[in-house]
Amino acid sequence: MTSRALILGCAGKSLSAEEAAFFRDARPWGFILFKRNIGTPDEVRALTDSLRNCIGRETAPILIDQEGGRVQRMGPPHWPAYPAGGRYGRLNGSAATIARLGARLMAHDLAEVGINVDCAPVLDVPAPGSHDIIGDRAYGTNPNSVAAIGRAMAEGLMAGGVLPVMKHIPGHGRAACDSHHGLPIVEASRETLAAQDFRPFQALADLPMAMSAHVVFTAIDPERPATQSAAVIREVIRGAIGFDGLLMTDDLSMHALTGTFRERAERAFAAGIDVALHCNGAMDEMRAVAETAPLLAGRAAERANAALAHLDPADDSLDVPEARAQFAAALAAA
């Protein structure tokens, strides 16, 4: 049965009967979990199993934001605390090696409970004076270093059987406000953006999935945020950056976007987004997004299938206790 071009959240640690019936009917391509959904490892595994059972697809993507630092949905006491991305950026020559190991361990944690997609790496390059919504989530301020560490993170996740989602394409690093609460407007020239902000995404354009930025780039489209801008998606994301993988929105419930939820989704799909992401689990909002989301077909379906084709079983060579000890020692020494 064909999926809809949707990724949806749920309200709690287990599904209500209403949620299960809605998901069965809406047939989203995938789901996303947040801290409100995380209990014990057994509870998370039961939830991921329930979500997949609703739509009858054993390999349905289940996403989470597990970056480390302040954006880590699974943490103590059941899972380790991982460092923020900025910590890797301060490790100089060992950054990529340690980041890859950290991501491999994260992938182990996620795969054990049925999560197969991580919304990382963060490839945004913070600029002076920007809002700290990115801040220490970024791997640094040099686009080449950000790309190298981002590549290592992606490789570590994929080695552990988890797909990466690079974000927030084409770049959130210059935003002067938090897009959860308002619409950032970036007035940098296209040349400046190309030299700094776009470069890490360009370097990792072969990755299978990316998440859009709810940011207006006045040099490209002064009226619409990237998520809803055909010019940004066509000319920059698909064009200058060269990304041809699955493009999903950032969360449609963020206040950077305006209009009804049906309108938010319609504008994103009209601009060229492949899959709409709605995260907060509010049933009335999800129904509105689902009503306008198309079936996953054509080029979007090809990109979705190509992304899942990158989902390989984890390599079985990792000694997890030894790797955790190595990771802790490497961070301490650096």
**228 CA to centre of own chain:** 17
**260 CA to centre of own chain:** 23
Is the pLDDT at 176 greater than 90? The verdict is: no
The residue assigned the tokens 């489209």 is 221
Measured CA to CA, the distance from residue 228 to residue 137 in angstroms comes to 24
The arithmetic mean of pLDDT across residues 39-55, rounded, is 98
Q: How confident is the model at residue 184 (pLDDT cuts 50, 70, 90)?
A: very high
pLDDT digits (tens, 9 = 90+) for 70-101: 999 999 999 999 999 999 999 978 999 999 99
Measured CA to CA, the distance from residue 318 to residue 326 in angstroms comes to 12
CB 117 within 8 A of CB 162: yes
Structure tokens belonging to residue 189:
């020239």
Burial track 140-156 (b if 16+ CB lie within 10 A, e otherwise): beebebbbbbbbbbbbb
- pLDDT for 231 equals 98
- pLDDT for 129 equals 84
Is the pLDDT at 334 greater than 80? The verdict is: no
Bridge partners of residue 32, in order along the sequence: 63
pLDDT digits (tens, 9 = 90+) for 202-214: 999 999 999 999 9
- pLDDT for 61 equals 98
The arithmetic mean of pLDDT across residues 111-136, rounded, is 94
Is the pLDDT at 240 greater than 80? The verdict is: yes
Is the pLDDT at 297 greater than 80? The verdict is: yes
What amino acid positions are annotated as catalytic residues?
A: 180, 250
Measured CA to CA, the distance from residue 101 to residue 124 in angstroms comes to 21
CB 131 within 8 A of CB 176: yes
Range of the domain at 201: 4-333
pLDDT above 90 as % of the chain: 91
Mean pLDDT of the chain: 96
Q: Give me the CATH number covering residue 219.
A: 3.20.20.300
Domain count, the chain: 1
**Identity at 41, one-letter amino acid code:** P
The arithmetic mean of pLDDT across residues 138-142, rounded, is 95
Q: What is the pTM of this model?
A: 0.96
Is the pLDDT at 125 greater than 80? The verdict is: yes
Please tell me whether the peptide bond between 222 and the residue prior to it is cis, using omega within 30 degrees of 0. Answer: no
The arithmetic mean of pLDDT across residues 272-294, rounded, is 97
Q: How confident is the model at residue 314 (pLDDT cuts 50, 70, 90)?
A: confident
